[in-house]
């Protein structure tokens, strides 16, 4: 995996589980990289522009925690065309 940078915007492609299925589903999420860990990444897909609102549970920040082992590709978003 590429070395993602904290607080940069990314498109993350990953495999997710499927209940009752026989293979994983390919998924994608776009957002700001909030947490980097050796096992997972946390992508904020909804946040605040006002810096006084810190990233914490209950402050209206929507995020996805994705296991690194499930990530198939990751792209830094540098312009709107990267979202396609």
Report pLDDT for 46. Answer: 78
Is 79:9 a contact under the CB 8 Å cutoff?
no
**How far is Cα of residue 44 from the mean position of the Cα atoms in its chain?**
6
Is 18:25 a contact under the CB 8 Å cutoff?
yes
Query: Is the pLDDT confidence value at 58 over 80?
Result: no
CA distance 20 to 2: 32
Q: Is pTM, for the whole model, over 0.75? A: yes
CA distance 7 to 28: 18
Q: What is the mean pLDDT of the chain?
A: 84
pLDDT digits (tens, 9 = 90+) for 34-49: 999 999 999 988 776 6
Report pLDDT for 23. Answer: 94
């Amino acid at each position: 995996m590429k070395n993602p940078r904290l607080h940069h915007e990314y498109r993350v492609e990953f495999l997710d589980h499927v209940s009752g299925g026989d293979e994983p589903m390919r998924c994608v999420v776009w957002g700001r990289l909030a947490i980097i860990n050796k096992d997972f990444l946390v992508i904020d897909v909804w946040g605040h522009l006002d810096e006084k609102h810190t990233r914490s549970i209950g402050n209206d920040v929507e995020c996805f925690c994705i296991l690194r082992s499930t990530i198939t590709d990751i792209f830094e978003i540098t312009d709107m065309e990267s979202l396609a």
